[in-house]
Structure 1
Amino acid sequence: MAAAAPTSEKRDVYTPPVLYPHSGTVWYSGQKHNVTWDNSNPPKSISNGAFILLRSGTYETPVVLAHDFNLRSGRVEVTVPDVITGTFSIVLFGDSGNWSEDFTIKGPITF
């Protein structure tokens, strides 16, 4: 098995803070919202494709809210999925994963 060739290319890690949703935000299943993040200091090169997952507690769910968008844009529109009413956060992936503050989604099912 061949070893991977070392690379001299410096990779930037870009973890823009998520601005919305934030604590106190309430979304309802079926609505559309813009997830926003601070895009004021992007590196010259962003090496990975961007996507957003829904997070519940300390676990990323398999629910992909958005993918293949430009991380430099600072926002992307998502449709709130049908979930059980609860507390969630979103995870913004580019070169690194960072997540929003906890917020509420009111789904079609409430326990």
Structure 2
Amino acid sequence: MTVFVPKITCPTADTVWTAGSTCTVTWDTSDAPESISNGSKVVLAKDGLQDYQHPLAEGFDLRAGSVQITIPADTAPGSDYAIVLFGDSGNYSPKFTIKT
């Protein structure tokens, strides 16, 4: 089994997303293996706490390098959010801001 831990390229520390908006999460696929053993999922984390119960996307091809998500409209504003990308391993984005 090959573990694929791609670097998330968006969001970055400078990213500001708006609650209720559709955004694109991107990651580097330059070293993606031909076979990725686990399913895919994107979850939102706030202050290090991951919201596993409400994934923003799942079941997409990790080799695609991006997936669109919708930030829930009821998301509280803050600058301590991160995206967690799961495949063979979890990978955190830098902390970024969500506004209302």
TM-score after normalising by structure 1: 0.83
Q: Which has the higher contact order (CA 8 A, sep 6+)?
A: 2
Count of equivalent residues = 97
1:84 maps to amino acid: A
1:55 maps onto 2:45 in alignment: yes
- Equivalents in 2 of 1:101, 1:36: separation in Å? 13
Q: Unaligned 5+ residue runs, structure 1?
A: 1-10
Out of 71, 91, 97, the position equivalent to 1:80 is 71
How far apart in 1 are the matches of 2:48 and 2:62? Answer: 24
Q: Does 1:22 align with 2:15?
A: no
Helix, strand or coil for the counterpart of 1:54?
Answer: strand
Distance in 1, matches of 2:48 and 2:41, equals: 18
Structure 2's unaligned 5+ residue stretches are: none
Deviations along 1:65-85, whole A, 9 cap, x unmatched?
A: 100100000000111112111
**SS class of match (1:69):** coil
* TM-score normalised over the length of structure 2: 0.92
CA-based RMSD of the aligned residues comes to: 1.0
Return the index of the structure with the highest Cα Rg.
1
> For 2:17 and 2:43, how far apart are their aligned partners in 1?
15
